[in-house]
Amino acid sequence: MTRTLLPFTIFCVMLCFGVSAHSPQVSMFTLSYQDKQWRLEGNFSQAAVSSVLNQTIQELAQSDAQLEIYRKRLLAYLTLSISLQQKGQSLKLMNGHAKIGNHQTDIWFDVETIHEDQPLYIQISAFEEIEHHTHFFKVRSKTSARTILLKPKESYRAVIEISADGTIKQLADVDEYTEETNFPEPEDEHPYLLVLLGICLLFTLIGFQKTLRLMLRGW
């Protein structure tokens, strides 16, 4: 019994330390139309990037090869966590670039054609691991610009529409549109952590009970 309990306890100790790190709160995305091409740019705190990639820039030996691996990991992470959809189809993110910095990291992708007068579904789950992280999402059309927030309580989702004259509308209720898209359903926050903590507690209680019995017998 105690052999089983020990690894769990050690895991709990590691967990306690693992969740205590401070992380920056805000990221900036800009979806803009320039030179007849839509482009998605991102501007992040390097601390946020280090946090999700579990590797700080200082840990790299600053060699070109290591930096390149780091860059590819970041772009892969973002490609998986950024979803832009129209007419039920995901828009491709192409030609990803990343400039890794000590304090700030900048990325950009070319985006497949965005159709005018059609709802554009946006979901960016990047950095959702960082509690209360918020994305400022700026859209620059041919004629106007507008910023919306993607927040955790809305599962980082929004629906906008860009009209032919460049007007940008935010469509009110994200959930109204969710069924038409492939958005994953919002999940409860870290349910696996709750289960693990429950198991830890259970084993600890059993352990205490046994200790108590042994002590009573001893007396």
Partner 1 sequence: MRHLMLSCYSLFFCVACNDHDIASPDSDKTLQTPLPFNVEQLGAGALIGDVTQVDCELENGVQTRCHKLTFKGNMVEKGPFCPEHLDEVGGLGVYDGPTNPGLKAMDRTLFTSMENDGFDIVDDSGNIRIADASRLNDYSEDFAYCLDAPENEEIELTYLLPTLPVNRFKAKPIKMIEYIGFTFHGIPIDGPAPSVIEGPPEREGGNIPALDPCGGHVAPAGYYHWHMIPQAINDLLDTHEVTSTTCVKIEQSATAMIGWAKDGYPIYSKQDVEGKKPENLDECFGHRSVTAEFPEGVYHYHALNPKAPNTPVCLKGYPAKNALSFNIHYDPMR
From 40-48, 75-83, 88-96, 111-119, give the range in contact with partner 1 by CB under 8 A. Answer: 40-48
Measured distance CA(65)–CA(155) in Å, rounded: 35
Q: Tokens standing for 20?
A: 């205590």
For residue 216, state whether it binds partner 1 (rule: CB under 8 A): no
Measured distance CA(200)–CA(9) in Å, rounded: 7
Of 55 and 104, nearer to partner 1 (C-beta) is 104
One-letter amino acid at 74 equals: L
Count residues near partner 1 (CB under 8 A).
51
Of 22 and 164, nearer to partner 1 (C-beta) is 22
Burial readout 113-152 (b: 16 or more C-beta within 10 A, e: otherwise)? ebeeeebbbbbbbbbbebeebbbebbbbbeeeeeebebeb
User: Residues 101 to 120: which contact partner 1 by CB under 8 A?
Assistant: 101-106, 108
Of 180 and 212, nearer to partner 1 (C-beta) is 212
The nearest distance, CB 211 to partner 1, in angstroms, is 6
What backbone phi and psi angles, to 5 degrees, belong to 12? -60, -40
The nearest distance, CB 201 to partner 1, in angstroms, is 10
User: Residues 187 to 206: which contact partner 1 by CB under 8 A?
Assistant: 204
One-letter amino acid at 209 equals: Q
C-alpha separations of 70 from 14, 50, 90, 108 in Å:
25, 10, 26, 15
The nearest distance, CB 87 to partner 1, in angstroms, is 26
Q: Tokens standing for 2?
A: 């105690």
Report whether 120 contacts 82 (CB < 8 A): no
The nearest distance, CB 88 to partner 1, in angstroms, is 27
User: Residues 145 to 184: which contact partner 1 by CB under 8 A?
Assistant: 146-149, 170
**Binder of partner 1 out of 62, 65, 191, 216 (CB under 8 A):** 62
Of 76 and 206, nearer to partner 1 (C-beta) is 206
Of 101 and 198, nearer to partner 1 (C-beta) is 101
For residue 86, state whether it binds partner 1 (rule: CB under 8 A): no
**Binder of partner 1 out of 31, 49, 57, 162 (CB under 8 A):** 57
Q: Tokens standing for 113?
A: 């054609």
Q: Tokens standing for 166?
A: 């460049």
**Binder of partner 1 out of 92, 99, 190, 213 (CB under 8 A):** 99
Of 30 and 86, nearer to partner 1 (C-beta) is 30
Measured distance CA(16)–CA(31) in Å, rounded: 38
